[in-house]
Amino acid sequence: MPVQIRHKTPFTLSKPRALVVAVPPMHSNVNLSRIVRAAGCCGVRKIICCGNASVNAKIARETGIDLEIEPHRTLSPELIRKWREKGWRIVGLEQTDRSFWLHEYAFPEKTFLVVGNERLGILPEILRELDDVVEIPMYGLPFSHNAATATAIAMYEYCRQHRN
């Protein structure tokens, strides 16, 4: 029979994950903390967070020194443009009229993933800055995932494609 192994040694990546996750001001720091935990598991090195962001260590757990949380007042178009200029593809996670299905989208290695606020999603001023938009297919009510759940799924899909 299978035997549980808690906290297995993780994969060693041949180079640091080139996935940056940008989180706008969130309604709930619980959701932000859940994103931080999932990002740590995915080997993400940088999360950009905004506003009154505060990570709850009980939820986020120990994510280690490899994951940097970079605070900003807001998620501004200027910030996004700086990342694009450095060669990152700006990919939003949002239900829109032109989103790719998450499982069909080929993530560039250098992905700057923008996620949405729980209630407002990605604001129009940020939507216009995106290179691409992806969304998770829905098969039933309530027709949308929790924001942190959706972010974790998107990071999983990125990792599935980039196993290096």
Q: Which is nearer to its own copies, 63 or 111 (CB)?
A: 63
Q: Are 44 and 66 in contact (CB under 8 A)?
A: no
Q: Which is nearer to its own copies, 73 or 119 (CB)?
A: 119
Q: Are 102 and 153 in contact (CB under 8 A)?
A: yes
Q: Which is nearer to its own copies, 58 or 73 (CB)?
A: 58
**Footprint of its own copies (CB under 8 A):** 1-8, 10-11, 13, 17, 34, 37-38, 40-44, 59-64, 66-67, 92, 94-99, 103, 121-122, 124, 127-128, 130, 133, 135-146, 148-149, 152-153, 156-157, 159-160, 163
State the minimum distance, in angstroms, from the CB of residue 34 to its own copies. Answer: 6
State the minimum distance, in angstroms, from the CB of residue 163 to its own copies. Answer: 8
Q: Are 82 and 121 in contact (CB under 8 A)?
A: no
Q: State whether the Cα torsion 110-135-39-13 is positive or negative.
A: negative
Q: Which is nearer to its own copies, 7 or 73 (CB)?
A: 7
State the minimum distance, in angstroms, from the CB of residue 130 to its own copies. Answer: 7
Nearest of 127, 139, 126 to residue 75 by alpha carbon: 126
Q: Which is nearer to its own copies, 92 or 108 (CB)?
A: 92
Distance of alpha carbon 1 from alpha carbon 4, whole angstroms = 10
State the minimum distance, in angstroms, from the CB of residue 132 to its own copies. Answer: 9
Nearest of 73, 62, 3, 42 to residue 158 by alpha carbon: 42
Distance of alpha carbon 142 from alpha carbon 157, whole angstroms = 22
State the minimum distance, in angstroms, from the CB of residue 83 to its own copies. Answer: 18
